[in-house]
Amino acid sequence: MNILEKKKVPEFMAALAADYDLYGPIVHPDSKDVLFDRAADPGDIALQAPIPYNPAKIPFFPQRESILGYTYDRSTGDVRIAPADLVRPKALVGIRSCDLTGLLCLDRFFLGQEFVDDVFRDHRRKTFIVANTCVRPFPQCFCVCTDSGPSAREGFDINLTEAGDVYLVEAGSEKGEALVRKLELPAADEAQTALKDKIVDGSIALFDEVSRENKAWISRATNRLTTGFIRNEVWEYIGKQCFECGACAFTCPSCSCFNIEDLNGPDGTTDRCRTWDSCSFEGYTKMAGDHNPRRPVEDRRNKRFFCKLSYSQSRKYLRPGCVGCGRCVRVCPGDIGLPTVVTAIRREITE
Ligand code: SF4
Ligand code: SF4
Ligand code: SF4
């Protein structure tokens, strides 16, 4: 473990900015909202800011992106493909453990199955991750229930933990170690090294006091979802609450559904675009001939919660699909964020 004095954070950011486009939590100057975004200036990244409103998947899996361009010559039948240039190196700086765990879920979805997604792979290839331990949870957090925080255990190049005037620095990869050497960060002494565990334990202890969502019965809900012992009335109640707006999926760090469409230009060029999709949208399960096997919203809403918590999905991600960030709690106009659904399932178990 090494030490980064807070006054040397600009030097740390500048060293990263020399090799990467920087993304991180940025405080909007007027609204004061925190968004995970590209930093125009390395100094814009606010390591102390609360968890951003949007998920950290955006640099690798943006809401809309062109993944391919091609031209079709009708007279000759020739097709020319021009792959998009997607490989700018990116550093995600100040990513919270829940968001990083969500990114690892996306890695397994896009890269860890039979078909590898080339576009996502190219985004991920040149990446540097600086994780940031949460020294205290935020009100909507429940990562302690989903084993995804408050401090990252894997997937980072550098992990920072705030400790007074310094950050404790853990290198998680050769790239991270190289940066530590380049900046000549001093080694932590024994007391500083021991501080890391104390800080994380202190943060976990604060969940009862600070976070409103930590009582969720995640493991019991997982059991019920997996075995299918949930009455239709529960899903109907959840369906009636849902506005089908898609905000939960669009702010979720582990949601991976997308749609592909070809946009034809007047000159024979075509832009193939990938856009986020959501199982809350009525057209999500629509098939050719207008057949829709999941037209009622509750049939699509239960899909979301199976996806987040059932054991069969956990096998795909090697962990629950929900990482406890609580964003769906914050954005849902129908008050059916994941903990509310877990509470509804808990009521069914206990009634
Ligand atoms: S859910 Fe956990 S890791 Fe995520 S911001 Fe909250 S405390 Fe940090
Ligand atoms: S389901 Fe909700 S709480 Fe869980 S990871 Fe997604 S947005 Fe966060
Ligand atoms: S945010 Fe709430 S209302 Fe909107 S689609 Fe998700 S569950 Fe439905």
Rounded mean pLDDT of 15-38? 95
pLDDT in the model for residue 293: 83
- Mean pLDDT taken over the chain: 91
Residue of 310 and 178 predicted with greater confidence = 178
Segment 225-241, tens digit of pLDDT: 888 778 888 888 888 99
C-alpha distances (whole Å) from 344 to each of 69, 339, 340 are: 46, 9, 6
Candidate from 58, 279, 328, 335 with most ligand 2 atoms within 8 A of CB, to mutate: 328
Candidate from 99, 105, 138 with most ligand 1 atoms within 8 A of CB, to mutate: 138
Strands 158-163 and 127-132: parallel
Count of CB atoms within 10 A of residue 188's CB? 19
Q: Is the pLDDT of residue 86 over 70?
A: no
- Residue 150: asked if its preceding bond is cis (omega within 30°), the reply is yes
Taken in order 132, 134, 135, 139, is the CA torsion positive or negative? positive
For ligand 3, atom 4: residue with the closest CA = 245
Spatial distance between the Cα atoms of 306 and 302, rounded to a whole number of angstroms: 6
Question: Smallest Cα–Cα separation from 167: which of 9, 338, 344?
Answer: 9
List for the chain the helix, strand, coil content (%; round to 5).
40, 20, 40
pLDDT in the model for residue 85: 65
Segment 297-343, tens digit of pLDDT: 878 878 888 889 888 778 777 888 999 999 999 999 999 999 888 88
Segment 270-299, tens digit of pLDDT: 999 999 999 989 888 888 888 888 888 878
- Cβ(322)–Cβ(146) below 8 Å: yes
Atom of ligand 1 nearest to the CA of 137: 7
Rounded mean pLDDT of 58-82? 89
Query: Using 50, 70 and 90 to split pLDDT, how confident is the model at 214?
Result: low
Q: For residue 329, report the distance from its CA to the centre of ligand 3, in Å.
A: 9
Q: Is the pLDDT of residue 218 over 90?
A: no
Structure token pair of residue 90: 């990116």
Spatial distance between the Cα atoms of 117 and 257, rounded to a whole number of angstroms: 13
Rounded mean pLDDT of 242-252? 95
Spatial distance between the Cα atoms of 271 and 276, rounded to a whole number of angstroms: 16
Rounded mean pLDDT of 239-256? 94
Amino acid at position 31, single letter: S
Q: Is the pLDDT of residue 105 over 90?
A: yes
Q: Please calculate the CA angle 154-39-52 and round it to the nearest 5 degrees.
A: 60
Nearby residues of 255 by Cβ (< 8 Å), 6 or more positions away: 248, 249, 276, 278
Nearby residues of 152 by Cβ (< 8 Å), 6 or more positions away: 97, 100, 101, 131, 133, 159
- Please report which ligand is nearest the Cα atom of 54: 2
Pocket lined around ligand 1, Cβ cut-off 6 Å: 51, 96-98, 134, 137-138, 141, 143, 149-150, 324-325
Structure token pair of residue 305: 């919660």
Candidate from 36, 47, 51, 328 with most ligand 1 atoms within 8 A of CB, to mutate: 51
Amino acid at position 277, single letter: D
Query: CA 220, 226, 232, 233: dihedral to nearest 10 degrees?
Result: 10
Q: Please calculate the CA angle 136-137-141 and round it to the nearest 5 degrees.
A: 170
pLDDT in the model for residue 286: 86
pLDDT in the model for residue 46: 97
